[in-house]
Amino acid sequence: MTHPHTRTYWLEHAWLDTHVEPGVAVEVADGRITAVRTDVPTPPPGAEILRGLTLPGLANAHSHAFHRALRGTVQVGSGTFWTWREVMYSVADRLTPETYHALARAVYAEMALAGVTSVGEFHYVHHAPGGARYADPNAMGEALIAAAADAGIRITLLDTAYLSSGFGQPPTAHQLRFSDGTAEAWAERCSVLKERDHARIGAAIHSVRAVPADQLETVARWAEERRAPLHVHLSEQTAENEACREAHGCTPTQLLALHGVLGPRTTGVHNTHLTAEDVSLIGGSGTGTCMCPTTERDLADGIGPAVALQNEGSPLCLGSDSHAVIDLLEEARAMELDERLRTRTRGHWTAAALLRAASADGHAALGWQEAGAIEEGGLADLTTVALDSVRTAGPLPRLGAETAVFAASAADVRHTVVGGRHVVRDGAHTLVPDVPQALAQAVDALRG
């Protein structure tokens, strides 16, 4: 007799952190894994069959959902990060709680189709254009939390303090809707946000450009008191380093260290243009690094020193950030392949290490420590990659991790299970019936 909230999954091949195990039965009750049995060569009666290689669910540790509306349009012409930002602001200007909910629901559904089970949403479009408060000052954040529920994935809402346009400069007209005025006011607004089964609340500092140095500690303390994750865009652009040096006589990393922002619950996003001392400060404090290789290459940011950061003690995770593409397998291999191009040597990370970044370490960076492994007691979040597609057929199944990381794409994700619920079955989303149409409509509603 099967309890309605218990279920058995049979995994044709399972990634058990270090190796591919054939024939694994996973028992799930109330969204958690209660047992993992190996040496199960055929599916037990009544089991849900996951054919292919099943990984722990993937964590997309850095997202700005609305950037998805820029896909394609920002590939026309040339420019820099800063000209790209102008186009991005024009989309931000048009968001409302309703249109943002529709867009984020579709984007998170796209993520689910790509095997993402948890997203870290670095959220800073808080208020109405011009800065007027909505009746619920958290209407935009709530829209994102609801969108994740509608798309069937977990979210960590990294509510972002964004108070200035540069060192000692007030927000520009575009940025008024991002600003709470002061870090105190930011903290007061965030403190009202409630966690749910699928949603956790974390903090973010947009960047050292956007939060005055004397207010960094207010944000860090808020996160510390809640033992919540704290994320910060860090040294993505050399211009930020130069402006910081001019204003404070130090690097952005040194400024963060000085104001108590670094630490094991903090994640620096990008960490691209660092000095050797910056790398030691980040690694030595246990601060994580979120690499976003597909965005970093799209925006011509440069290649961050991920190997050195990891060697100094910084755990690595991955994010699709601007959503030029949404494909965590591509993010994982890009980190390794960028390093190969730079060094002209191979093998900086194994497929196993890249999968850890894409899952366990990404989840830890988002405050979901109980996700990221197929093990008893863990959340029943699973991503199955087909090993019989045109991209993945051929290699022996025991090389499934290498095949998934170095040859598969998001299109090879066959099943996504979140908390024991099939969100994607056989490549189709079970909650959002037509994801491409949902994306097209949501993006169209934001067109100028």
User: What amino acid positions are annotated as catalytic residues?
Assistant: 270, 321
Q: Give alpha helix (H) positions in 114-212.
A: 139-151, 183-190
Binding mask 302-341 for Zn ion (x = CB under 5 A): -------------------x--------------------
Shortest spacing between CB 234 and Zn ion, in angstroms: 10
User: In whole angstroms, how far apart are CA 146 and each of 105, 243, 283?
Assistant: 8, 38, 35
Question: Among 57, 19, 54, which Cα is nearest to 387's?
Answer: 54
User: In whole angstroms, how far apart are CA 5 and each of 112, 122, 373, 431?
Assistant: 22, 33, 21, 19
Q: Count residues binding Zn ion (CB under 5 A).
A: 1
Shortest spacing between CB 295 and Zn ion, in angstroms: 7
Shortest spacing between CB 80 and Zn ion, in angstroms: 16
Residue 152 half-sphere exposure, CB side, CA atoms within 13 Å?
30
Q: How far apart are CA 394 and CA 396, in angstroms?
A: 7
| Position closest to Zn ion via CB | 321
The residues in 347-386 that bind Zn ion, with binding defined as CB under 5 A, are none
Q: How far apart are CA 352 and CA 71, in angstroms?
A: 30
Residue 189 CA, chain-centre distance (Å), reads 23
Tokens of 139: 């209407």
In the bound state with Zn ion, the residue whose beta carbon lies nearer, of 12 and 321, is 321
Q: How far apart are CA 200 and CA 287, in angstroms?
A: 20
Residue 142 in contact with Zn ion, rule: CB under 5 A: no
In the bound state with Zn ion, the residue whose beta carbon lies nearer, of 67 and 414, is 67
Shortest spacing between CB 269 and Zn ion, in angstroms: 6
In the bound state with Zn ion, the residue whose beta carbon lies nearer, of 174 and 221, is 174
In the bound state with Zn ion, the residue whose beta carbon lies nearer, of 219 and 379, is 219
In the bound state with Zn ion, the residue whose beta carbon lies nearer, of 322 and 383, is 322
Shortest spacing between CB 319 and Zn ion, in angstroms: 7
Give the residues lining the site for Zn ion (CB under 5 A). 321
